[in-house]
Structure 1
Amino acid sequence: MGDEEALGFRPLYRQVRDKLIRRLVDGVWAPGEPLPSEIQLAAELRVSQGTVRKALDAMAADNLVVRRQGRGTFVARHDEERVMFQFFKLVGDDGDRSFPQSAVLSLAQGKANAAEREALKLPKDARVTRIRRLRSMAGRPTIVEDVALPDALFPGLAGMEIPNNLYGLYAVHFGVAVASTRERLKAVALTAEDADALGAKAGAPALRIDRLALSLERQPVEWRLSVCLTDKVHYLSELR
């Protein structure tokens, strides 16, 4: 069958979207690289140009590709600007929106504990790399976070210099693109350890962000617990 029904019974644009995402997963197109034109993709996939356009629009809405007027469609990069506006939701009470600077407090490897295995869907004997870092906004320590990463996905990471933009590191050095996240927010009191890192008082109110990062294939790739002081910042979620 050569017509559009050959792709199956689900909405055609979603099937085309899934096929294009598979190419991103397989590294057919690198971050920042232009995709073939809508006409080329439509001819190759044997669907209408409108179906391809709708699939690309859905991918753009998920920040997987970037549409540039008059230039085409490009694979999204994990640069700081994209990460800030897609994944980083803390904004200064004065409206300032800037990417925080980070300092690594510790970096270690070990056998995944029960919580890490559950969050990251790991087998019993899996190992993880753990990063603890302090993040500052406007020069003020604001966030202390603990990151757990499966060693199987990030071999050798423990021996690398850890940059400010972790998602960029994952994409460039390990071919792991973070496509989406799931977050749970909870008001907490600072533990003595977190308070010491932040230069605050133990028991002071804070916001805990429990974030699971997912790959293009919806595979858990990172579990991050961030404890944030909110006396000068707030969490902003913009729904569409």
Structure 2
Amino acid sequence: MTRILDQTEVLGFRPLYRQVRDRLIRNLVDGVWAPGEALPSEMQLAADLGVSQGTVRKALDAMAAENLVVRRQGRGTFVARHDEERILFQFFKLVPDSGVPSFPDSRVLSLSQGRADANERSLLALTPGSKVIRIKRVRSIEDRPVIAETISLPAALFPDLAGMAVPNNLYGLYAMHYGITIANTQEKLKAVGASPDDAAILGVTPGTPVLRIDRLALALDKTPVERRLSICLTQDLHYLSDLS
């Protein structure tokens, strides 16, 4: 008979609910449940994993706090989608000084593929000779260009991206077309002067003060999958680190 373990027990010096969380996240990584799909009930998951229902509930609560799943009262637990509302809440931190947050529109300026440079190899954990896809685009809020953005992606993870139309919502594309869910990001912020190229894109003079956001996006299994360098005009915007 399977012994039902209590959520306070630990195996391998880690709380049991964290181990259950890791097992469930592995299912997300492996595509067992797709974005928007309902997970099995807590009772079924508990039976499948041989743990108590309370342990499963605590694991799912932890995943909900990380925005990996969505709990809907009376309906169950669903894999989170990378829709614009979620990205605005979790990843896009530039907010108008007057007004409510809004998801920016994007226009692709160039899309190319080439050999990764040393910085891209280091950030994306690539081997020498690896190729990356580079996307250059401008992002606008209320029809005003405010972000000049350069994105680097491992070509091996996105094999046909260089030949397709790039949507505004890239994280949604990663999840739905490639099965890659962005779970976390690491950001470095610095005040700099706009370069001539970025100034031309943003319609300002070179040297105009801008905020540089250097972001590394990580998949559910912590694999680095995107380096994004954003040059942001912040005269009428501010960076809000927590929208909750």
Task: Verify same fold: TM over 0.5.
Answer: yes
Partner of 1:194: 198
Q: Return the match for 1:172 from 168, 173, 176.
A: 176
Q: Deviations over 1:64-110 (max 9, x none)?
A: 00001111100000111111111000000003210000000110000
Counterpart code for 2:76 = G
Q: SS of the residue aligned with 1:149? A: strand
Following superposition, the deviation at residue 138 of structure 1 comes to 1.1
TM-score normalised over the length of structure 1:
0.97
Partner of 2:135: 131
Q: Is 1:204 aligned to residue 208 of structure 2?
A: yes
Q: Deviations over 1:103-162 (max 9, x none)?
A: 001100000000100110100010000000000011100000000000010001000000
Counterpart code for 1:62 = E
Q: Return the match for 2:16 from 12, 20, 23.
A: 12
Structure-to-structure mapping, 1:28-43, within 5 angstroms? 28-43=32-47
Structure-to-structure mapping, 1:47-66, within 5 angstroms? 47-66=51-70
Q: Percent identity?
A: 68
Q: Is 1:84 aligned to residue 84 of structure 2?
A: no
Q: Is 1:2 aligned to residue 3 of structure 2?
A: yes
State how far apart, in whole Å, the 2-side matches of 1:9 and 1:34 are: 31
Q: SS of the residue aligned with 1:66? A: strand
Q: CA RMSD in A?
A: 1.3
Q: SS of the residue aligned with 1:183? A: strand
Q: Deviations over 1:158-189 (max 9, x none)?
A: 00000000001111111111111001100010
Partner of 1:114: 118
Q: Which structure 2 residue ranges, 5 or more long, are not aligned?
A: none
Partner of 1:216: 220
State how far apart, in whole Å, the 2-side matches of 1:144 and 1:126 are: 25
Q: Which structure 1 residue ranges, 5 or more long, are not aligned?
A: none
Q: SS of the residue aligned with 1:145? A: strand
Paired residues in the alignment total 240
Q: Return the match for 2:155 from 144, 147, 151.
A: 151
Structure 1 window deviating more from structure 2 (21-30 vs 6-15): it is 6-15
Counterpart code for 2:137 = R
Counterpart code for 1:137 = I
State how far apart, in whole Å, the 1-side matches of 2:155 and 2:92 are: 24
Q: SS of the residue aligned with 1:20? A: helix
Q: Is 1:94 aligned to residue 98 of structure 2?
A: yes
Q: Is 1:70 aligned to residue 74 of structure 2?
A: yes
Following superposition, the deviation at residue 2 of structure 1 comes to 3.5
